[in-house]
Copies of this chain bind each other. A is one copy, B any other.
Amino acid sequence: MPGTEPLSTSDAQGRAAPERRARGAGVGPLAVDLRIAIMRTSRRLRAEAASRSLSPGQYSVLAAIIPGSMSVGQLAEREQIQAPSMTRIVNHLQDAGLVIRCAGVDDKRRVLVQITEAGSAALAAARSKRTEWLAKRVAALSPEDRRILRQAARILQEMSSK
């Protein structure tokens, strides 16, 4: 391995030496570390979850409409994507028989999306598969680390839905 000695310079983004954040640092470094951690984990999750029946987007949308029917626009806003992307996802879900579209009664421009029985079943089956990799990693952590991640999930959730 030529030229790969860990130099631990301040420019290495702390990936080779995450412990240098131990002393409660400022907001900037935290944002950098957090961004890298999240992007890498998400890439990993995407890769691990691939070749399953439902894509991450499909899964997420399917889960969102369980409480009741949602319009395409509401789903798009909730998932922080544009309407055409949501149309595409709903198309796939509908083709697979997992959701149905129905016109709004008050406002016929709206298209309400509802989950079917097959959709609920697929979601339940996919759920365990989807989180398999992450659950395995999480299970290997200390209870303290799990507690931290549990709170972090809540914080990130709030943060990214604003």
Residues of chain A having any CB pair with chain B under 8 Å: 1-9, 11-13, 15-16, 18-19, 21, 24-25, 27-28, 30-47, 56, 60, 63-64, 66-71, 74, 79-81, 104-106, 110, 112, 114, 120, 123, 127-128, 130-131, 134-135, 137-139, 141, 145-162
Contacts and interface: CB of A to CB of B under 8 A. Distances in A.
B3 A112 contact: yes
Contacts of A112: 2-3
A71 B1 CA distance: 8
Contact of A154 (B18, B147, B155): B18
A80 to B, nearest CB: 6
Given A70-B3, A80-B47, A159 B137 contact: yes
B34 A153 contact: yes
A135 B27 contact: yes
Contacts of A39: 42, 45-46, 56, 60
